[in-house]
């Protein structure tokens, strides 16, 4: 499904968190929303998921206006959000958490198990952990459960809010590569991340949010190959010389770069564009 965001504005009282946001996430592609803390990534995903009513603008799904449609209705139609911080039920087992993902779908019994098995094919560690309490898992495993809990619904649009947050570099890469694999013919993926270099290595398209506006948007390979972009947003990546600055996705990058995150524009001492 094609997700189209047109001239979106989100406010919290007098605070304008997002303005003039236009972005398209296409079927079979993973689109990244990159930005520092407070840039507006969560606000954008929540607006798309029907959890925050936009002050202006439209959100279209395959051409149908879904602006203001409540979250439960959108979720039933296949638009699913994996929230920041996983938000699992710590006291419940992995299996129980995954079954919670099917809440309200009417899928039960053998069909529910089928959905769970299907969702776990991407995560070989999960089948052996079904009886464990979610709160006792590592951060990486918890993130896998959070994604699998969304997958049991067989989403057509998957929104992920900072799936790599708090994970070790090796797991960051693993989770982000999984995110890319999810972007198949049937799933449209929009992933919010602060981990710029690691994310651009795996997604198809990237858009950078700064102070509630999109300040850069292009194919991931083009962004990584753009010297001005890498100097501005990845800092030391440009210092690696040509090999680094023009590196297309899937090229090995030094580990410290995989942890590169954006800092709020006002803290960088630069005027935002
Ligand atoms: P983070 O990574 O910290 O979640 P983010 O990029 O997702 O950051 P948002 O959480 O969308 O950014 O916040 C964007 C702006 O909106 C920030 O200035 C934030 O302070 C403000 N904001 C977010 N939620 C609220 C709220 N409930 N009430 C008031 N202001 C809010």
The string of pLDDT tens digits covering residues 86-118 is 889 999 999 999 999 998 888 999 999 999 999
Average pLDDT of the residues in 126-144:
93
Which of 9, 34, 41, when mutated, tests ligand 1's pocket best, judged by the most ligand atoms within 8 Å of its CB? 41
Average pLDDT, the chain: 85
**Which residue is it, tokens 């799904």?**
61
Would the CA dihedral through 19, 179, 237, 269 be positive or negative?
positive
pLDDT digits (tens, 9 = 90+) for 150-166: 999 999 999 999 999 88
pLDDT(22) > 70: yes
Residue 233 C-alpha from the chain's centroid? 19
Rounded to the nearest whole angstrom, what is the distance from the C-alpha of residue 213 to the centroid of ligand 1? Answer: 13
Q: What is the pLDDT of residue 171?
A: 87
What is the number of residues in the chain? 273
- Predicted confidence at residue 242, as pLDDT, reads 31
Ligand 1 contact via 38 beta carbon (within 6 Å): yes
- Ligand 1: nearest atom to the Cα of 39: 6
Lowest average pLDDT, out of 112-121, 184-193, 228-237, goes to 228-237
Beta sheet of 30-35, edge-to-edge order: 79-82, 157-161, 188-193, 30-35, 205-210, 213-219
pLDDT in tens, 25-70: 999 899 999 998 899 999 999 999 999 999 999 999 999 999 999 9
d(C-alpha 220, C-alpha 207), whole Å = 9
Tell the residue number behind the tokens 């690691």, with chain if given.
198
Q: Strands (DSSP E) along the chain, which ranges?
A: 3-12, 15-25, 30-35, 56-61, 64-65, 79-82, 157-161, 188-193, 205-210, 213-219
DSSP one-letter string for 177-193: HHHHHH-SSS-EEEEEE
Q: Tell me how far the alpha carbon of residue 39 lies from the centroid of ligand 1, in angstroms.
A: 7
Q: Is the dihedral of CA 93, 110, 186, 221 positive or negative?
A: positive
Q: In angstroms, what CA-CA distances link 14 with 6, 46, 50, 127, 129?
A: 21, 18, 21, 47, 46
Q: How far apart are CA 215 and CA 21, in angstroms?
A: 10
Q: For residue 216, give Cα distances in angstroms to 21, 59, 258.
A: 12, 20, 20
Distance between CA atoms of residues 55 and 19, nearest Å? 9
User: Which protein residue's CA is at the shortest distance from atom 25 of ligand 1?
Assistant: 12
In this structure, the strands spanning 56-61 and 3-12 are antiparallel
Q: What is the residue whose two structure tokens read 């994604």?
A: 147
Does any ligand 1 atom lie closer than 6 A to the CB of residue 40? Answer: yes
Lowest mean pLDDT among 58-67, 137-146, 149-158, 244-253: 244-253
Domain boundaries, the chain: 3-78+155-267
Q: Does residue 244 have a pLDDT over 60?
A: no
pLDDT of residue 258: 52
Q: In CATH, what is the architecture of 3-78+155-267?
A: 3-Layer(aba) Sandwich (3.40)
Tell the residue nearest (CA) to atom 3 of ligand 1: 37
Confidence band (pLDDT; 50, 70, 90) for 260? low
Whether the predicted pLDDT of 215 surpasses 80:
yes
CB of residue 86 inside a 6 A radius of ligand 1 = no
Quick check: CB of 47 below 6 Å from ligand 1?
Answer: no
């Amino acid at each position: 499904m094609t997700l189209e965001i047109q001239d979106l504005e989100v406010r919290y009282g007098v605070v304008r968190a997002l303005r003039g946001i236009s972005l398209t996430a296409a079927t079979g592609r993973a689109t990244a929303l990159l930005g520092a803390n407070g840039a507006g990534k969560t606000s954008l995903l929540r607006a798309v998921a029907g959890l925050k009513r936009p002050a202006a603008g439209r959100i279209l799904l395959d051409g149908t206006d879904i602006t203001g449609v409540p979250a439960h209705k959108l979720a039933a139609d296949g638009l699913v959000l994996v929230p920041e911080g996983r938000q699992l039920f710590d006291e419940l087992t992995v299996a129980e958490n995954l079954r919670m993902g099917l809440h309200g779908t009417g899928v039960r019994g053998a069909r529910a198990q089928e959905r769970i098995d299907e969702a776990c094919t991407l995560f070989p560690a999960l089948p052996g952990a079904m009886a464990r309490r979610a709160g006792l898992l590592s951060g990486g495993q918890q993130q896998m459960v959070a994604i699998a809990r969304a997958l049991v619904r067989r989403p057509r649009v998957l929104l992920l809010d900072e799936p790599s947050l708090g994970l070790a570099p090796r797991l960051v890469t693993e989770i982000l590569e999984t995110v890319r694999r999810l972007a198949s013919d049937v799933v449209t993926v929009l992933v919010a991340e602060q981990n710029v270099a690691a994310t651009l290595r795996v997604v198809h398209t990237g858009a950078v949010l700064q102070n509630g506006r999109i300040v850069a948007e292009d194919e991931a390979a083009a962004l990584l190959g753009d010297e001005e972009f890498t100097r501005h947003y990845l800092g030391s990546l440009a210092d690696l010389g040509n090999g680094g600055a023009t590196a297309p996705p899937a090229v090995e990058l030094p580990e410290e770069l995989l942890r590169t995150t954006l800092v709020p524009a006002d803290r960088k001492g630069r005027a935002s564009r």
